[in-house]
Structures are given as C-alpha cells and as structure tokens.
Amino acid sequence: MTTHAFALRPISDDDADALRRIGGPIYTADEFPGFPCRQCLEDAAIGEELFLVSHDPFDRDSEYRSSSPIFLHRHACQPPSDRDARLPEQLTRRQLSVRAFDGDAMMIDAAVIDGTELEHSIGAFFDDPETKLLHVHNASRGCWAVTVERNAAD
Ligand SMILES: [Zn+2]
C-alpha cells in the first residue's frame, strides 16, 4: 500500500525466500483469521500451509534490534500491490503495537492501538519529523507484522 504519506514494507521477497530455504515448523491454517503471512499480508485460508520462522526487521544495529516470530506461506507468495490504497485487513482487524524509530533505529515513541486506528496512528507518528519508520507488531503475541516508511516524496 502507498499513500501520499507512507508505504507499507512487508518482508522482502529475498528475505522471505531465504527463510523458506531454512524452513521451520510447518503449520496448516485451521482457523481464519489466525495465520497471518508477512509477505502477502493476507491471513492464510483454512488448509494453507505456513512456515513459522524468525525474522529481524531491522536494517541497522540498535539496542532495540531483535528478531520476531512470523508466519510465511510455505510456498512463495506476492507482496500486496503498491497501488492498493487500502490497509490490509490482516492489520486492521487486530490489536497492534506500533513502535516509532528515528534514523539511528532508536525507539522514540510507541502505542498499543486497535487496528482500525492504524491509518490515523501512522499519520500521528509521522507528524514527528524525527520519526523515520514504524514497526507494527501484533500486540498480544509480539509477531512483527510490517514496517511502515515515510514516502520519499512526503
Ligand atoms: Zn503469503
């Protein structure tokens, strides 16, 4: 998803492929929603298989740097289109922890929100010019969900 103000950054295709090669425990989705894939940003349909893997969404060192459990569809999938102007339901139907980082990857703000508030919350965090990007996690289990970047044109 891209708006005038921000862009969602799911796990990169390269990182997702590398994690699939390493593999991990395989889950078969037996409820919907309940198994959110962090590449296509869709909840797996019942019967679809996913790997549980550990992903580090940071691109630089920081005291906050850590890996997070995530699901990936077992077979390669596609990130959502940049032209999709809608936040994925995977995000809007969950309680989320939104963490704001500055250019040194230091956390400068954070909030637990209802997913329906995500778009508003992203805008509020980016009102602070020090905010470089946001990490969105599931509030309850802590799984990283997506990174949100300021649009370069913003
Ligand atoms: Zn997927």
pLDDT > 70? residue 2: no
Tokens standing for 41? Answer: 């940003």
Q: In this predicted structure, what is the pLDDT of residue 3?
A: 57
Q: How far is the CA of 71 from the centre of ligand 1 (A)?
A: 8
Q: Residue 74: pLDDT above 70?
A: yes
- Whole-number Å distance, alpha carbon 146 to ligand 1 midpoint, is 13
Question: How high is the pLDDT of residue 86?
Answer: 84
**pTM surpassing 0.85?**
yes
Q: Give the integer Cα–Cα distance in Å for 4 and 77.
A: 26
130 phi and psi angles, rounded to 5 deg: -75, -20
26 neighbors 69 (Cβ within 8 angstroms): no
Span from the CA of 134 to the centroid of ligand 1 (angstroms): 21
Grade residue 153 by pLDDT with cuts at 50, 70 and 90: low
